[in-house]
Amino acid sequence: MCRPIYVYVLSHPKGLTVTQSPAPEPTPPSPVPATAAATGAVADTASETGPAPLTPAPAPAPETAAEPGGDAATLTPAQAFDALYAFCAPALVRQAFLLTGRRELARESVERAFQLAWQRWPEVARDPDPAGWVRAATYDYALSPWHRLRPRLRHSEPSPADAFSRTLLDALLKLPPPYRRALLLYDGVGLGLPETAAETEASTPATANRLLHARAAVATRLPELANPEELHRRMAELASLERLRAAKPPAVRTDSERRARLWTRAAIAFTVALIGTTALTLRTAPTHYEPPVSPGGTVQGVPPKVAPGSLSQGELALRAKLRQGMASGPERLVPQPR
């Protein structure tokens, strides 16, 4: 497993005192099983003789707790995180590139995964496989379906110059995300079938079927990759062609803390707004029951209102006569003072 100096259990939040154990006696090399690679690290750069392997370098000798009076160094959480990041980030960037085919998204996936790991560092530090925890977070973010809604990710990036590598990358990207993930973990990283099933959160038979279908789909496009060993080698070559660099560990930790502060402030602002809205509602809401006004009814026997119509000829003549004789009419109509 990918567990060198960063094997750090946060039973002591202030730090853990460790010392390096004496160097072991040299032993003859022995073959490493395929399941020994937990990170499936793709080497940073290809060697002069060929592509770098997908498996990480052997972990150093385990470290033991320092005895009183011995030479000791304090391993802080930041140092443990930086060691984990330096060991696993370069390989995870290349694995994320094989998953997404996008260089910028691959770097972003690794950075976001490590930012999440730093926010949950006590949990990650106590995990039996911190590298596997970060790898799962990287894969989840890289394969998120929400990325297709981002405008800057709608345009394709330049493909590899090599025709074979371009065809292999296209064949990988045409696979469904669960198949692609299972194929990379099993044939690229080198995990066993049970470990692959556990990381993909699927049953072992379902994972085996995904692997068979993924291999068949790739072999249809590239028949020479029907051999799993050749597929592993070609995937390593494809990952080694890209010069992908990850951010520095301090920058990742700073971004993680800034993002955590931003979300905390947003949560506080939302809570304050919710409390204010609730208080305003309680202040303006009625305090007693107000019965609704019953709808009005029609009153029977009342003649409807009618607008006055035009005057007839007789009415017009009468009106004219009254207007003429009102001021100089008979005495009975206009009384005279005595």
* Whole-number pLDDT of residue 165: 87
Which of the 8 DSSP states describes residue 266?
H
Cβ neighbours for 200, distance < 8 A, ≥ 6 positions apart:
178, 181, 182, 185, 207, 210
Phi and psi for 163 in degrees, rounded to 5? Answer: -65, -40
Instruction: Return the structure tokens found at 203.
Output: 């049953």
* Positions of E strands within the chain: 16-19, 64-65, 73-75
Residues β-bridged to residue 64: 19
The CA R_g of the chain, rounded to the nearest whole Å, is: 41
Separation of alpha carbons 160 and 50, rounded Å = 17
Going by pLDDT thresholds of 50, 70 and 90, the confidence category of residue 71 is: very low
Interatomic CA distance for residues 291 and 64, integer angstroms: 79
* Residue percentage of the chain with pLDDT more than 90: 40
Secondary structure letter of residue 185 according to DSSP: I
Mean pLDDT of all residues in 79-106: 91
Tokens of 146: 């929400």
70 has a pLDDT exceeding 60: no
Q: For 114-123, write each residue's pLDDT tens digit.
A: 999 999 999 9
Q: What does the pLDDT average to over 251-278?
A: 91
Mean pLDDT: which of 56-65, 133-142, 299-308, 325-334 is highest?
Answer: 133-142
Taking the alpha carbons of 235, 238, 242, 243 in that order, is the dihedral positive or negative?
positive
For residue 224, count other CB atoms closer than 10 A to its CB. 10
